[in-house]
Structure formats: structure tokens, C-alpha cells
Structure 1
Amino acid sequence: MTEGGRRTAEPLPTEMELLADLSRLYKIQPATALWRAVEIREVLKAGLPTGRGLDLGCGDGALTGMILRYAGERPELDGLDYDHGEVRVAERRGVYRRTFCSGSEDMPLEDSSVDFVFSNSVLEHLTHLDATIAECARIIRPGGNLIATVPAPAFQTLLKAQGRTGAAREAYVTTMNARLAHKNYLDAAGWAALLSKHGFAGCSATPYFNRAQVERWEKLSAMTAGVLQKLGATNALLYRMQRLTRSDDRSAGGLLETNRGIARWSRHWARIVAGGVLDNPGTDDRYGCLLVSARKP
């Protein structure tokens, strides 16, 4: 059976089913798990191309490994990330044929060497977005594809901002963007223009992450990373804490994996987190994220 380009004999997992898996991956990050559950189902609906691909901003490879478990015909992937620690973990995970530690604006790959580039929640963080898209165009073969998930400008307007208005709301959104390290918010037209500039054609932008899901994510984020930030935690410290919860990141210690209470909590909170917002298309016509795709002629 083929569904949305995905070759498989099994039905697509629901967002709730994905959340159950993601709760074990993001043990102390319920907000992230909720976001990824919606996002990954959108990726699976669209389907990854076959052939040789590059996972741009691969991190430790855990999330892509989950996508590949649910996907039908598996592509042959390389992984690229600028973080040495993440790349070391990705190497041990066995998801990738090769891994590269490099910035995205100067990739150590040959011209026309991959059939596609996949990037999940990465492009919004990049300072050199234009140069990165140019590099993607360079390494993708004619007829190949670029697929990316990104937040849209509407993400900022869908935030409830804890009831703030005016300048107070603007300050809240600025703080949120700094914590998330979001630097780029392009709408569908903006992505079409940028990709066209670098020779891509047939740009599409599928919206996902509806108002109710954004609002639930925001509440969960405020209860977790938001509280820690108010107590003085930096982005670097939050990131370190996230790595400490990984069962297979021995370089970071994997300390919390030995805590059975944490492990039990990670199995049970998923059903509480969902609260009716998953597997629900919503009624608002605004969405916080886009799945962007384009083809290199």
C-alpha cells in the first residue's frame, strides 16, 4: 500500500501512538514530545523519498530513527550536524551510512551527490539560511527534493502569551523566540521565493500544528523549561539537562535513565498531555508550522 508517498503494509501511526513513543525519548520535555508527535505524523503522511539522502541537522539521530521505523522503504541516509557530541551519539546509533560534523553553509559533500535533503525543525535556527539553501541546491541531484519542517509566522500569533497584550506580549514572544532559538519565520510565499532563488521548483507548504495544539504546547512549555528559565537556567543548561535524560548518551551520563520513577512517569504522562488536542484536525484555519517541499529540476 502507498499512502502519501510512503510505502508500507501498515497504517500510519496516530499522533497519540507517536506521542507514546516520543514520551520515552523526551522524558522531561512533554512540550517537545507533543510538538514532535504532530510533526512526525505529517512527515510520515508526506513520505520520505527513496535513494540516498542527507538528514540536515540530524542531532543524535533518535528522531530520524523513529521516523524510519514507521516508514516503508528506507532511504540510505547520511547525517550532518554542527554539534560534535550529537554526531558521536548519532554514529553509535547506526541510523546513518556516514555522519559529518559541519556547519550547514559549507557542507562536506560533493555536488549532485544526494537524491534529497531532509531537515526536521532545523532551518528556523540558522543564521545563514540563504547559504544553507544554496548548499542544498548544490548537493541535490537534478530531479531530487528538499523536504523540511519549520515553524510559520502564525506560530507567534497563535501563542496566548499568558494573556499579555501590546508591548508585554511582544516582549513575551521575543523571550520565547530566544529560548527556542528561532531566527527565521517564513510563510509559504517566502519559502517559495527563497527556494526559487536557488533553482528549486514546485514548492509546496503543507500547514500543521493547529491553534489548540500550539496552545497546549505553550502551557506545557511554561510548566517545564519556562519555569527553569525564570529560575535562571540558560539555554545551554536546559540543553545539558535534556541530554542527561537520554538512555543511550553515555557521554552525557544518561543519569536519569536509572531513576525508575522518571521512567514510569514518562510512560504515563503522554495520555494526560494529549488532552483531546491530538488526532484532532481543529477548526482554525491558522497553523503554527509548515512542511515545505520543493524539487530541483
Structure 2
Amino acid sequence: MLSGNLKYISNMERDLLSKFLKVYWLRPGLALWRSIETDTIQKAIRNISIAKQEKNLQILNPAIDLGCGDGIFSWMLWGGNFDIGFDCYRTRMSSTAQHINYKTKKPCFFFDTGLDMDFNSLKRAKNIGAYKKYIQADMLSLPFKNHSFNTVFCNGVIEHQQDLTAILSEIKRIIKPYGRFITTVSVECFRKYLFYYPLTMKRRRLGFTTIGNIALKFDEGRGESHIHCYRPEQWKKEFGKAGFEVLYYKRYLPKHIIQLWDTGLRILSPLSIKVANLLDRFGLRIPIKGISIVLMRLLLNKHYKNRTGTGGFILLFSRSK
């Protein structure tokens, strides 16, 4: 009989790429990233449980999702799903639009609390019912008592923070003794894997500042915003200094996946959103979206399956000492 976290993922939908394309149909590169990320985390939980390390790494409430954004990733990580009528891009164009009518399947597990600095992101998270509590706060000053949570989840957030020591110290403070800290972060090769950022640096070194500045505009700060890009061994050291023991880690997202994410349709995204909203007037949005999902899945499925190469991101399961 399955126990603990394994029961949450044993019967989840396996076509994760289609699942995320339904949400991020105008950003297929992001859908590819999130589907691989979800698969990596789910497989880690499954493998750890089967290896009987579950007692060490089991995800328990009270739990918090730090830097939760709109809550969509946490919702879908634990098996939540939406029908084709759900559209996060329409919501971003309208402050009154609601997700809640488009939910099709609730997740098997919820983090109790979602925390983010952005009010609008938290509002969207509340619209889908992603958490029980929604907190707007700075991660450098978390509004919780010491030892408040059994589990802290933090997906692609702490590498963006200038003061890594302070962030890890705050996370350590709010976790109970032997609590679980699950996070994803960029590693040493991430910036090299990007398409625009290396182009920017190379052109500037050669003196082509105009071309470099154009490339930097397309980069949109992705390279420079990932402040901490360390090898796994260095991440383990940083976590160790903060009072965490890394019990498991796994690299994911090889170069070709990150470059697809960095290019894709991202540059055209603002225009695509406007066109997609215009389609609503003619009742064509959902039919066009359906066709787009099928085509993008055909194009991206080979990349989803081919994950060979050194990953530019890493998943870390840690325990508070």
C-alpha cells in the first residue's frame, strides 16, 4: 500500500506537456520548461518513496510556497488541471477576469500558504484557490514565528535574491527542526545555455555595443537576474552553512531546452496576447487555442523526451539540521 507523498503522484496525468500547453499556449517554451520541471519533482518524490527515504523527505503541512506567483505551478504539480477554457493570458489583460470557472480537477495536495511580493499574482492564485492563506510579504522579512512550517517549497526564486545568506537564514528560521526545504535553482552553466545573454556579452566584448544592446533587450534581464549560479557542490555548501543538509539533488533542463525557453515565442508574446484577446470577439479563441496546443505538442514532444545533457537547473531536497 502506498503511503505519504507517493500516494499524491501515483495516479497523476502523465501527459504533462499537453497539460501545461493548455495553460501556457502562447508561451510553448515555458510549457516545456514547466512540464519537465514537474516531471522531475514528481519522479524524485516517487523514487525517494520507493527507496524508503520517505520519512526523511516526506512533504508535510503546515507548508508554504515562497515566491508562489499565481499559484498555477503548485496547483498542477500536485495533479490539478484545467480545461481548455482556462486562459491565464486573458486574466492578465483584465483585472476582473476570473480563473475559477475553468477549473476541472483539484490537486491531491495543497501547500497551506502561498507568499509573494506581488499583489496581482496573489490575487490570481486566490482565484484558483491554490492555497488556504495568501500572504504578501518580502522574503527577507517573513511574517511568521520561528519554526512555523514542516515544509518550505521555493521554485526558482532564491537564485534571484541579492543576499542569499539572508534569504536562507529566514527560511531556516521558519522551518521546524528536521523540516523539509525543497527548492529549484540555477547552476553554473545556466547563463551559458541562454541564447541572448551570451550573444550580448560576446558582442559587447567585440565592441559591437549596438548589437549587444539589442540582444540584451531580447534577453529581458534573464541572464543578469539569475545572480547565483553555482555548481551542485557549492549549493550544498551554501545550504550547509545556513543549517540545511542536502539529502537529494537532481540536475534537469539541458542546453537545448533552456534555449527553446529563452527564444520560443517570448518576443512576440505581448502581440500574441493582444491578438488572442481580439479572437474573443469572433468566438475563435478556444478553437485556435486547441489547434495551437496540438501543433505545439507535435513540435515539442521530441524535446520533452530528449533530456540528455548536463542540466542548467537543479532540484534540491534538504532537511533542517
Instruction: Give the TM interval when normalised to the shorter protein.
Output: 0.7 to 0.9
Q: Give the stretch that moved more between structures: 198-207 or 176-185.
A: 176-185
Q: Is the 1:256–1:262 contact (alpha carbons within 8 Å) kept by the matching residues of 2?
A: no
1:183-202 to structure 2, matched below 5 A, reads: 183-202=227-246
Do structure 1's residue 69 and structure 2's residue 79 form an aligned pair? yes
Summarize the Cα distance change of 1:51–1:174 in structure 2 as closer, same or farther, 3 Å threshold.
Answer: same
Which residue is 1:248 aligned to?
none
Question: Does the 8 A contact of 2:184 with 2:313 survive in 1?
Answer: yes
TM-score by length of 1: 0.78
* 1:233 alignment partner in structure 2: none
**For residue 313 of structure 2, what is the aligned residue in structure 1?**
289
Query: Identity, % of aligned pairs?
Result: 25
Q: Is the CA contact 2:196–2:218 (under 8 Å) kept in the aligned structure 1?
A: no
Is residue 214 from structure 1 mapped to residue 258 from structure 2 by the alignment? yes
Q: 1:98 to 1:257 in 2, by over 3 A?
A: farther
Q: 1:127 aligns with which of 162, 169, 173?
A: 162
Map of 2:124 onto structure 1: 89
Structure 2: distance between partners of 1:4 and 1:215: 36
**Cα distance change, pair 257–197 in 1 and its aligned pair in 2 (3 A):** farther
Secondary structure of the residue that 1:69 maps to in structure 2?
Answer: coil
| Unaligned 5+ runs, structure 1 | 229-237, 246-253
State the aligned residue count. Answer: 271
User: What's the counterpart of residue 80 of structure 1?
Assistant: 115
Which structure 1 residue ranges, 4+ long, deviate > 6 Å from structure 2?
none
* Cα gap change, 1:12 to 1:169, in 2 (>3 Å): farther
Deviation track 1:64-97 (CA, whole Å, cap 9, x = no partner) reads 1111226996254210000001111212221211
- 1:252-291 map, 5 Å: 255=277, 258=280, 259-282=285-308, 284=309, 286-291=310-315
Residue in 1 that maps onto 2:25: 27
Deviation at 1:5, TM superposition (A): 5.2
User: Given that residues 52 and 75 in structure 1 are in contact (C-alpha distance below 8 angstroms), is that contact kept between their aligned partners in structure 2?
Assistant: no
User: 1:269 and 1:40, CA in 2 relative to 1: closer, same or farther beyond 3 A?
Assistant: same
RMSD: 3.4
TM-score (structure 2 length as normaliser): 0.72
How far apart are the structure 1 equivalents of 2:259 and 2:307?
Answer: 14
Tell me: CA distance 1:2–1:158, structure 2 relative to 1, closer, same or farther (3 Å): farther
User: Which whole-Å CA distance do the structure 2 matches of 1:142 and 1:183 have between them?
Assistant: 29
The verdict on how the C-alpha distance between 1:10 and 1:174 changes in structure 2, with shifts beyond 3 A counting, is same
For structure 2, the residue ranges without an aligned partner over 5 or more in a row are: 46-57, 81-105, 206-211
What SS is found at the alignment partner of 1:92?
helix
From 199, 202, 221, give the equivalent of 1:178.
221
Contact 2:196–2:219, Cα closer than 8 Å, also in 1: no
**Selected match of 1:99 from 115, 123, 134:** 134
Residue 209 of structure 1 contacts residue 289 of structure 1 at CA under 8 Å; is this kept in 2?
A: yes
One-letter amino acid of the counterpart of residue 60, structure 2: T
Residues 1:53 and 2:63 are matched in the alignment: yes
Structure 1 position 157 matched with structure 2 position 192: yes
CA distance in 2, matches of 1:211, 1:61: 27
Q: Is the 8 A contact 2:8 2:109 kept in 1?
A: no
Given candidates 114, 117, 140, the residue that maps to 2:175 is 140
CA deviation digits over 1:223-244, x for unaligned, max 9? x22357xxxxxxxxx5x987x8
Partner of 2:6: 6
Q: 1:24, 1:266 within 8 Å by CA — same for their partners in 2?
A: no
Alpha-carbon deviation of 1:165?
Answer: 9.7
2:145 paired residue number: 110
Shift of 1:256: 6.6
Change in 2 beyond 3 A, CA 1:113/1:174? same
Give the one of 26, 29, 38 matched to 1:40: 38
The structure-2 alpha-carbon separation of the partners of 1:57 and 1:265, relative to structure 1 and needing over 3 Å to count, comes to farther
SS at match of 1:74: coil
Q: State which structure, 1 or 2, has the greater radius of gyration over its C-alpha atoms.
A: 2
